[in-house]
Amino acid sequence: MPGVHWNRIKQKRKISFQRKIQFISAAVFNGYGAGFVKGKIYTGGSKAVCVPLLNCYSCPGALGACPVGSLQTALGARHHFPFYVLGTMMLFGILLGRLICGLLCPFGLVQDLMHKIPVPKWSVPKKIDRPMRYLKYVVLLSTVILLPALVVTKTGITPPYFCKYICPAGTLGGGIPQMIANPALRNLAGMLFSWKVLVLLLILLLSMFIHRPFCRYLCPLGAFYALFNRFAFYQMSLNERKCTGCKKCERSCPMAVEITREINSSECIRCGKCKAVCPEGAISLGFLLKNSKPYGDYRAYGTRSRRR
């Protein structure tokens, strides 16, 4: 029947809540459309405000300041304790945790879309995956905090090492659009730009095979928010009475979180995929959940008999 067929097509094309929010967020935080045409960046007062996500302030559309870039500037160029930037990052972290990574970050959206490309998907072995996840904390501590704060250059201004050598979001959102729109900048591009494009391409390529490799292993902002994920006001909860231990949630989790063991893991990006697939409706997300536990519920299932 044509109607049934059409319904199936419509169902397949349905855009998830997460994807809608991701697109809206990318458009809102990069809402200065004229910048893309003119090759200029927005210079209004809203750029004094740090946005919660990794969004380069040199992106032609950016309406706010990147917290990671601002943190490096405060430490490396101004050499003072970054009260304002750190306070802003902590506020976002304690309110939302890594919900920002899952729903708001434009580079997360880019990685999600790359992962949609139909190629064989890789499951990273735990032996490699677990230690690699600590790499993002090393990136945060070294390139964002210690190097800008401690390295002294002749000019007295320490470069933002993460932005300069790693940040793929800056290359994609700032570097490439600026190069396209500004012939003068194009002439200045050299080895450093080639290196940054190479890093970006590698991450995009990996994203096709592994879900969100940058968020898992490299993102310093994700690492910072991960510190707050267990205690943030926005939490997840697993109802142990409803959970049957089928582990459908764990198989669907893009960040490979052991949901039945540790639902509020620092690696969880709150994308809500586990909630969507749970046949028992045992998972809930929201602010100030009554029964949420920071280290998850280790007795989520299979131990009800032990409790009795």
Nearer to other proteins, 51 or 210 (CB): 51
**Pairing of β 234-238 and β 283-287:** antiparallel
* Residue given tokens 């979001």 in the structure block: 169
CB 211 within 8 Å of CB 255: yes
Considering only CA atoms, which of 145, 142, 138, 177 is closest in space to residue 55? 177
Cα-atom radius of gyration of the chain, to the nearest Å? 21
Nearer to other proteins, 26 or 210 (CB): 26
Integer Cα distance of 136 and 68 in angstroms: 13
Question: Minimal distance in Å, beta carbon 145 to other proteins?
Answer: 15
Question: Minimal distance in Å, beta carbon 258 to other proteins?
Answer: 17
Integer Cα distance of 105 and 230 in angstroms: 19
Question: Minimal distance in Å, beta carbon 231 to other proteins?
Answer: 5
Kindly give, in sequence order, each residue whose CB lies less than 8 Å from that of residue 59, ignoring residues fewer than 6 positions away: 30, 35, 41, 170, 173, 174, 177
Using CB atoms within 10 A of its CB, is residue 132 exposed (0-12), middle (13-18) or buried (19+)? middle
Nearer to other proteins, 112 or 214 (CB): 214
Considering only CA atoms, which of 212, 244, 232, 248 is closest in space to residue 285? 232
Site for other proteins, rule CB under 8 A: 41-43, 45, 47-50, 56-58, 62, 64-66, 69-70, 73-74, 77-78, 80, 82-88, 90-91, 93-95, 159-160, 163-164, 167, 170-171, 174-175, 178-179, 185, 188-190, 192-193, 195-197, 228, 231-233, 293-295
Nearer to other proteins, 170 or 272 (CB): 170
Q: What is the CB neighbour count within 10 angstroms for residue 146?
A: 13
Question: Minimal distance in Å, beta carbon 170 to other proteins?
Answer: 4
Question: Minimal distance in Å, beta carbon 98 to other proteins?
Answer: 15
CB-facing half-sphere around the CA of 307: CA atoms within 13 A = 9
Q: What angle do CA 155, 158, 163 make, to 5 degrees?
A: 135
Nearer to other proteins, 92 or 301 (CB): 92
Integer Cα distance of 143 and 146 in angstroms: 7
Question: Minimal distance in Å, beta carbon 164 to other proteins?
Answer: 4
Question: Minimal distance in Å, beta carbon 256 to other proteins?
Answer: 24
Nearer to other proteins, 95 or 132 (CB): 95
φ/ψ of residue 284, rounded to 5? -130, 150
Q: Which of the 8 DSSP states describes residue 141? A: I
Nearer to other proteins, 62 or 259 (CB): 62
Kindly give, in sequence order, each residue whose CB lies less than 8 Å from that of residue 195, ignoring residues fewer than 6 positions away: 165
Question: Minimal distance in Å, beta carbon 134 to other proteins?
Answer: 20
Nearer to other proteins, 18 or 235 (CB): 235
